[in-house]
Structure 1
Amino acid sequence: MVNSVVIAGRRPTLVRTIHLRTLIGWVLALWLIHSGARAEPLEPSGKAVKADVSRDEAEARAQFRVGVAHFDKQEYREALEAFRSSLWLKRNRNTMGNIASCLKQLGQYDDALEQYEEMRREYPNLPAKIDAIVAADMAELLGLVGTLTVTGDAPAGALLFIDDRVRGKLPLEKPLRVSAGSRAVRVEKEGFAPLRTTVEVKAGKESVAELVAMSRKGRLVVSEKHNWVLRVELDGKDVGVTPWQGLVDAGQHKVRLHGFMGVEALAACEAPGVSVEEGARVASGFEVALVKLYEETRVVLGAEEQDASLRVESTPGGATVRIDARVVGTAPWEGRLPLGEHVIEVSANGFFSAKQSVVLERRKERELSVSLERQPDLVAEARAGRNRKIGVGLAYGVGVVGLGVFAVAGGLALDKVNDLDARCPNKQCPSTEAGSQRVAAALGTAATVGLLVGGLGAAMGTGVLLLTGPGSSQGRPGPSVSAGVGLGSFEMKGRF
């Protein structure tokens, strides 16, 4: 039975120089495995198979012998395939040990180590000598492997290849055991360009494969919830019809559907097989799709009949138009909107905003003309207020001066007249009083002029207040002024 055992070497290049002690140990170990296994011992080549052996078991033994033959010729890959075929037909510790030996000879130290671990899990009660040999071989293999983690642009669900061998899907649950040396790392996800890098794995240490995507794309899939075939508008550009999918840059994208539906198909809620160019206009609202790197993002939009148009004009022109709190453009604006009620708001700098609700009905056009009320110019108002104060002050100042002249000149004139009356009985004054008469007349004239100037100044100041006061244009009570003039005195009261 011993002559059918595969002898596992330490390294591929040292297969002919294995220590005699290791050789004898593996021969004894594998013989014990044969004798201790529950399955019948594998028969040597040429010996008849017992009648009670199943067909699968017989084929397993035949594949085992093929593997032994290839291993003796150092044809380790062919031997590995034969041993795996045998193990698939019949689980056997001997076969598992030979698979580990082939993997080790092929330099797949990580797989060889995993094969030994699987062998120990499946057959935990190995004889002491066999367990010692397996442990020694595993210790040597641990010195030939490291671990690998994948970071960077690592798409979830992608297949991970190490040296063209599939090693699992991302993300990895734990660092991956990999044979030491230069390793080619490749990540593939259906529908995307593969990611590649090379990592130098060091024995007993953890290495990192940093993946960087050269094309930073994600997949966007757009459909209409009624399965209508409509044009797809992506970031303002027409890219095709629904259902649509394509690779786009990672990030945010604005998507909208628009097109036409036959009136009969729309009434029956039927989904035509192709896009049409006439009929009832339908469209969806805009939706922002967040596309992630190497991931698929699905957007399902619902289109509605848009067969109603609205035109908005404004005074002044160029005002901003908002429909349902969303800016759609500047006036004059014209477009189609979903049927029903909409809130239209028009605004412009320096004017009060105007808001109005409109109800759009099917196949009817609506026009809306909005005149905006100008907001007060606070700077101009302040300037006008200053000018008003100056004008009122000057007018009243002139009035005060004029009334002052009237009071002084009038008082002097009155005194002079009373003096002349005392010296001129019966109003007959001698020629010597001619000068006094002229002075009295001049003072009277000055008093009269002062009264006229004072009255005119007071009237002008009051007029300016009444005509230009802020209350006159904003509905607030305007100023009021009352004045009293008496001989030798002047009084003015007012409210401003």
Structure 2
Amino acid sequence: MGLIDFGARAAPPAPPSNGLQAEVYVDDVEARAQFQMGVAHFDKQEYREALEAFRRSLWLKKNRNTMGYIASCLKQLGQYDDALDQYEEMRREFPRLPAKIEATVAAEMAELSGLLGTLAVTGDAPAGALLFVDDRLRGKLPLEKSLRVSAGSRAVRVEKEGFAPLRTTVEVRAGEERVAELVAPSRRGLLVINEKHNWVLRVELDGKDVGVTPWQGLVDVGQHKVRLHGFMGAEALAACEAPGAAAEEGAKVASGVEVASVRLYEETRVVLGAEEQDASLRVESTPEGATVSIDARVVGKAPWEGRLPLGEHVIEVSADGFVSATRTVQLERRKQRELSMSLADRLAGERAARNRKIGVGLAYGVGAAGLGVFAVAGGLALGKVNGLDARCPDKQCPSTEAENQRAAAALGTAATVGLVVAGLGAAAGTTVLLLTRPESDEKGAGVTVSAGVGLGGFELKGRF
């Protein structure tokens, strides 16, 4: 079968396999030159070089004979599936082939079909991975349909960036479908963790520190708890700037806990937003330089300023020679607290306590003495009155009882004066207690006083 040439060149021999007549009607000079180069390589059985030349020609100008030559080259190279694909494309591009050429194409396609089987990929087949069969790239997973491959032992390889390749070997039979069952050597996925402000913070993965953001690594398939924490400098925090490295001190920041679901050979991205977890506190003292303790831990000398976790804290300020002072504060996000604490002079307090005890003692002592006078004089007066009642019927006493009457009256007056003095002393002592009550009493120490009076006896108990 002769070939129709582009010019005056003698017609080269026909392709050995398909007998297609080289009828090339192209005006493009370069396409014609590439086609002639391909025919020359084909005649020398240099099929790979011929294939490249024919493809360059076809790219410049579509031609059915060029497509036929390409299919013949692929067949000679053992790429039966690609050769069959090429014939099918030729039929789609040129549906009305001459009867003789159509017969030749049909025969070629039938022969190629007898050399092919089909391949399906299942198992641990990651989406988006590249599929290679005998080191030839055949597409991306998942496949839309089963892949046509040459019969025989086929090496299947799946590659996805960031993961180890999956490999298997399948024995393909002509006219049959075989399944490449992929099994991952380790069931892992890629986890990528970032902070939404691009802050560099520590990454806590399932309770363990694994590095800093941005972080990525292969982890087991399943659910994982992710949390970010660390410190931010005050300036960077105020400007929301992204530092170049993790800070070792500053404002404490942290994110909530997020659960990431990692799937086999897939990338899972987690973006967490960290927020401030502490607030600023300034403590001043009178006198200056007192020791500051926070939650029972010494943090420095007043004036002291620093950041603390949000919530309630117990602040204690102490100094030699002074009574310690304690306050409880509630810290809130983004709010600075200032605390000024004055310490009482311990010696002045002791003197005040001593004077208080003396004053209270004197007042209650006077009151006790008054109660004693009242009890004794009252008892004697009562005895005199009872004797007069017995000796003076109808309250008519003879002149001989005048002295006893005067004595009874005097004792009654003394008892009344004693009772008044006792009341004044008790009132004065109680007033001193209340007006000079120390801070401990104000917080619930309390004062207890009890008294008992009887003929010939008196008792006073108290707690100051």
Per the shorter chain, which TM-score range?
Answer: 0.5 to 0.7
Q: Is 1:4 the equivalent of 2:12?
A: yes
Post-superposition offset of 1:178? 0.9
- Correspondent of 1:243 among 211, 214, 226: 214
- Correspondent of 1:88 among 52, 59, 64: 59
1:9-158 equivalence runs, <5 A: 9=17, 26-27=18-19, 29-31=20-22, 34=23, 39-40=25-26, 53=27, 57-158=28-129
How has the CA–CA distance of structure 1 residues 162 and 6 changed in structure 2, closer, same or farther, with 3 Å as cutoff?
Answer: farther
For each residue in 1:409-457, what CA deviation from the matched residue of structure 2 results, as whole angstroms up to 9, or x when unmatched? Answer: xxxxxxxxxxxxxxxxxxxxxxxxxxxxxxxxxxxxxxxxxxxxxxxxx
How has the CA–CA distance of structure 1 residues 234 and 148 changed in structure 2, closer, same or farther, with 3 Å as cutoff?
Answer: same
Judge conservation of contact 1:232–1:258 (CA < 8 Å) in 2: yes
| Partner Cα distance (2:31, 2:250) in 1 | 71
Matched AA of 2:151: A
How has the CA–CA distance of structure 1 residues 340 and 174 changed in structure 2, closer, same or farther, with 3 Å as cutoff?
Answer: farther
| Partner Cα distance (2:188, 2:81) in 1 | 34
SS across alignment from 2:181: strand
Judge conservation of contact 2:194–2:270 (CA < 8 Å) in 1: yes
Post-superposition offset of 1:143? 0.9
| Partner Cα distance (1:359, 1:102) in 2 | 83
| Partner Cα distance (2:79, 2:308) in 1 | 66
Matched AA of 1:268: A
Which has the higher mean CA deviation after the structures are superposed, 137-146 or 246-255? 246-255
| Partner Cα distance (2:13, 2:29) in 1 | 17
Q: Is 1:195 the equivalent of 2:166?
A: yes
Post-superposition offset of 1:273? 2.2
| Partner Cα distance (1:123, 1:198) in 2 | 38
For each residue in 1:69-111, what CA deviation from the matched residue of structure 2 results, as whole angstroms up to 9, or x when unmatched? Answer: 2222222112111211221122111110001011111111110
Matched AA of 1:30: Q
**Structure 1 residue aligned with 2:155:** 184
**Structure 2 residue aligned with 1:233:** 204
SS across alignment from 2:175: coil
For each residue in 1:177-202, what CA deviation from the matched residue of structure 2 results, as whole angstroms up to 9, or x when unmatched? Answer: 11111111111111111111111111
How has the CA–CA distance of structure 1 residues 287 and 359 changed in structure 2, closer, same or farther, with 3 Å as cutoff?
Answer: farther
| Partner Cα distance (1:175, 1:122) in 2 | 24
**Structure 2 residue aligned with 1:223:** 194
Q: Which runs of 4+ in 1 moved over 6 A?
A: none
How has the CA–CA distance of structure 1 residues 59 and 111 changed in structure 2, closer, same or farther, with 3 Å as cutoff?
Answer: same
Post-superposition offset of 1:237? 2.0
How has the CA–CA distance of structure 1 residues 131 and 359 changed in structure 2, closer, same or farther, with 3 Å as cutoff?
Answer: farther
Which has the higher mean CA deviation after the structures are superposed, 147-156 or 236-245? 236-245
| Partner Cα distance (2:188, 2:279) in 1 | 38
Judge conservation of contact 1:5–1:30 (CA < 8 Å) in 2: no
What runs of 5+ residues in structure 1 fail to find an aligned partner?
A: 10-25, 41-52, 310-335, 342-357, 365-496
Judge conservation of contact 1:220–1:291 (CA < 8 Å) in 2: yes
**Structure 1 residue aligned with 2:224:** 253
Judge conservation of contact 1:305–1:338 (CA < 8 Å) in 2: no
Post-superposition offset of 1:241? 1.2
1:335-346 equivalence runs, <5 A: 339=310
| Partner Cα distance (1:206, 1:359) in 2 | 73
Matched AA of 1:169: K
**Structure 2 residue aligned with 1:296:** 267
Judge conservation of contact 1:8–1:102 (CA < 8 Å) in 2: no
How has the CA–CA distance of structure 1 residues 278 and 6 changed in structure 2, closer, same or farther, with 3 Å as cutoff?
Answer: farther
How has the CA–CA distance of structure 1 residues 81 and 223 changed in structure 2, closer, same or farther, with 3 Å as cutoff?
Answer: same
> TM-score normalised to the size of structure 1?
0.54
| Partner Cα distance (1:338, 1:130) in 2 | 85
How has the CA–CA distance of structure 1 residues 75 and 340 changed in structure 2, closer, same or farther, with 3 Å as cutoff?
Answer: same
Matched AA of 1:246: G
Q: Is 1:204 the equivalent of 2:195?
A: no
Judge conservation of contact 2:190–2:265 (CA < 8 Å) in 1: yes
Matched AA of 1:282: V
| Residue-pair matches, total | 285
| Partner Cα distance (2:52, 2:180) in 1 | 30
1:268-417 equivalence runs, <5 A: 268-307=239-278, 339=310, 360-361=331-332
> TM-score normalised to the size of structure 2?
0.58
What runs of 5+ residues in structure 2 fail to find an aligned partner?
A: 4-10, 281-306, 313-328, 338-464
How has the CA–CA distance of structure 1 residues 229 and 6 changed in structure 2, closer, same or farther, with 3 Å as cutoff?
Answer: farther
Judge conservation of contact 1:6–1:71 (CA < 8 Å) in 2: no
SS across alignment from 1:71: helix
Matched AA of 2:116: V
For each residue in 1:119-148, what CA deviation from the matched residue of structure 2 results, as whole angstroms up to 9, or x when unmatched? Answer: 000000101111111111111111111111
| Partner Cα distance (2:157, 2:126) in 1 | 12
| Partner Cα distance (2:139, 2:330) in 1 | 59
Percent of matched pairs sharing the same residue: 80
| Partner Cα distance (1:98, 1:173) in 2 | 28
SS across alignment from 1:78: helix
| Partner Cα distance (2:12, 2:309) in 1 | 83
Matched AA of 1:131: E
Judge conservation of contact 2:13–2:43 (CA < 8 Å) in 1: no
For each residue in 1:33-60, what CA deviation from the matched residue of structure 2 results, as whole angstroms up to 9, or x when unmatched? Answer: x1xx6x34xxxxxxxxxxxx4xxx2222
Post-superposition offset of 1:252? 1.6
Matched AA of 2:33: A
| Partner Cα distance (1:151, 1:250) in 2 | 18
Judge conservation of contact 2:131–2:159 (CA < 8 Å) in 1: yes
How has the CA–CA distance of structure 1 residues 338 and 138 changed in structure 2, closer, same or farther, with 3 Å as cutoff?
Answer: farther
How has the CA–CA distance of structure 1 residues 359 and 113 changed in structure 2, closer, same or farther, with 3 Å as cutoff?
Answer: farther
| Partner Cα distance (2:15, 2:21) in 1 | 9
| Partner Cα distance (1:199, 1:79) in 2 | 31
Judge conservation of contact 1:259–1:281 (CA < 8 Å) in 2: yes
**Structure 2 residue aligned with 1:406:** none
